[in-house]
A = this chain, B = another copy of it.
Amino acid sequence: MKTERLQAFSDGIFAILITILVLEFKLPSYPRGQLRQAVWQQGPLFFSYCLTYVYIGVLWLFHHDLFSQIKQTSARLNVMNLVGLFLVTLMNYSMTLMAASIQSGGPADMRFAFGTYDLLAFLISGSYLWFYRYLWHHHELLQSNCTLIKHNLRTISKYPTISMGLYALALLFNYFNVYLGLILLVIGIIFHGISYYRTARVQEQS
């Protein structure tokens, strides 16, 4: 099976997911003349939208770079890919949870919502680690000129492993202080973006 359609299908899912996030931005009913205030109160939703947009965007970039190194897919990889994408689709729900909990401001709600987000991000990073390990054991699926995974499984595994650590820490700290947990989550996502950037730059220069 060729990878073009698998890539197109995955790209489609990423493109749809990142775009329908904005459908959650529903304007609440507001008294005439109070539109500005109604919009300002959607601040938490905007924050949560930006964070999730960046996160899914970076996940797509990683997915893109990973699958551009694959020559051929297997039934196993197809199923793994569907599992990975399943976790990513849940980000939409997780984003609305985060926004709702910040808006209502209940600490128990925020703890639950942030924890769900952390857990999901932890599992998604885990799914990338799973991809890398599988591909390392199946060199025959990779492009012949792809040196990244073949020789440097340890290097490429480093980023998702650190991410998983950060998200696990966020999940833990979340139980002591929700804001500390949130900061760690944001750091995890920023770290994600920076690791993509660095990996891609290394590949460009080689």
Contact = CB atoms under 8 A, between A and B. Distances in A.
Contact of A1 (B36, B68, B108): B68
B89 A39 contact: no
Interface stretch (A78-86, A127-135, A155-163, A178-186): A78-86
Contacts of A193: 79
A3 to B, nearest CB: 11
Interface string A185-206: 0000000010011001101100
A34 B113 CA distance: 11
A74 B39 CA distance: 36
A31 to B, nearest CB: 9
A22 interface: yes
The size bracket of the interface on A is 35 or more
A12 B105 CA distance: 36
Interface of A is mostly: helix
Interface in A98-132: 100-101, 104-106, 108-109, 112-113, 116
A12 B5 contact: no
A13 interface: yes
Given A9-B14, A93-B25, A65 B35 contact: no
B96 A27 contact: yes
The 6 closest A-B pairs by CB, nearest first: A12-B15, A75-B200, A35-B109, A16-B19, A33-B106, A36-B112
23 contacts: A1-B65, A1-B203, A5-B7, A9-B60, A12-B12, A12-B19, A16-B16, A22-B90, A22-B92, A27-B93, A27-B96, A27-B100, A32-B106, A35-B106, A35-B113, A39-B112, A53-B86, A54-B82, A57-B86, A61-B82, A74-B200, A74-B204, A78-B200
